[in-house]
Structure 1
Amino acid sequence: MKLDAIDRRILRALQRDGRLQNVELAQQVGLSPSPCLRRVRLLEEAGVIERYVALLNAPKIGMGLTVFARVWLTGQDAETVDRFTDEIRLLPQVVECHLMAGDCDFLLRIVAADLDDYRQFQIQHLTRIKGVQNVKTEIPMQKIKLTSELPL
């Protein structure tokens, strides 16, 4: 789908506030409500807009620690990788999982209440996944930027 300037304005506005009512969105992007709604529906149908979510304040819900875990597997064969990814998908503490090129096999972003909570997660879940050879945890000292907005 080719995005024009109006589509980009719609997407920028919805990234900032996904709860915008259509009338307000139309006003912000310079359209009347009916064509604006039509464009939003086309963006949704094309998969440009995947879904709408609420972004939560992690510390306020008891998940004040974010860690990054680099994971090495015993092998990179399909069975080992598939088993690992299937297990990771079941763990709600893992909020991001990336198959990596380079030093490690996977990079995970994990949320936990605190360091003890993460350690228990690592012992009880992460290192028990068959095929996990090694886990190195990186603990960020300060969050400088975290956004879900993509540049348009």
Structure 2
Amino acid sequence: MEHLDRADRQIIKELQGNARMTVTELASRVGLSKTPCQLRIRRLEEQGYITGYTILVDQNKLGLCHIAFVQVTLNDTSSKALTAFNTAVLKVGEIEQCHMIAGGFDYLLKVRTKDMVSYRTVLGEKLSSLPHVVQTSTFVVMESVKDFGL
């Protein structure tokens, strides 16, 4: 971030809030004209500060309102075992997030399903059979107060 100036940071902030705004609107918000704003966006993309654009979806309206955080402990934390686990996690659609943790367990997963019955199936058939999993602990979300960094 040390190579980013105020305008670059403002462009990123504005696009995080609404990636669909026009370049003209964005340029106006950050105090630039259209062409310099476009050039900055392209540079931020090329340098990897902006890695993509996406939409936020109301998962509850899609019937996916059950969220669980799962602590995962592995029986092996060698590079080969971690790679096998990471690769397998990418194939499980119900896992929204996966973070390697420094602490009393190895990974923290955010898992989204339609209900507890569906979650139990995912836990039994997918999560428990991921490579090197020796133990899981589930924490069910009662209410999401803040999500998506908004």
The TM-score with structure 1 as length reference comes to 0.93
Please list every run of at least 4 consecutive aligned residues from structure 1 whose deviation after the TM superposition is greater than 4 angstroms: none
Question: Take 2:54 and 2:46, find their aligned partners in 1: how far apart are those partners?
Answer: 17
Deviations 1:72-110 (A, max 9, x none): 111212232222111101111111111111101111011
RMSD: 1.2
Question: Take 1:25 and 1:133, find their aligned partners in 2: how far apart are those partners?
Answer: 49
Q: Quote the residue 2:30 is aligned against.
A: 29
Question: Take 2:136 and 2:50, find their aligned partners in 1: how far apart are those partners?
Answer: 34
What's the CA shift for 1:9?
1.4
Aligned length: 149
2:33 pairs with 1:17:
no
Q: Quote the residue 1:44 is aligned against.
A: 45
Which runs of no fewer than 5 residues in structure 2 stay unpaired? Answer: none
Question: Take 1:147 and 1:54, find their aligned partners in 2: how far apart are those partners?
Answer: 11
What's the CA shift for 1:141?
1.6
Aligned AA (1:101): A
Identity of aligned residues (%): 32
What's the CA shift for 1:140?
1.7
Question: Take 2:75 and 2:40, find their aligned partners in 1: how far apart are those partners?
Answer: 48
Q: Quote the residue 2:88 is aligned against.
A: 87
Q: Quote the residue 1:123 is aligned against.
A: 124
Q: Are the counterparts in 2 of residues 15 and 148 from structure 1 also a CA contact under 8 Å? A: no
SS at match of 1:62: coil
Aligned AA (2:61): K
Q: Are the counterparts in 2 of residues 64 and 113 from structure 1 also a CA contact under 8 Å? A: yes
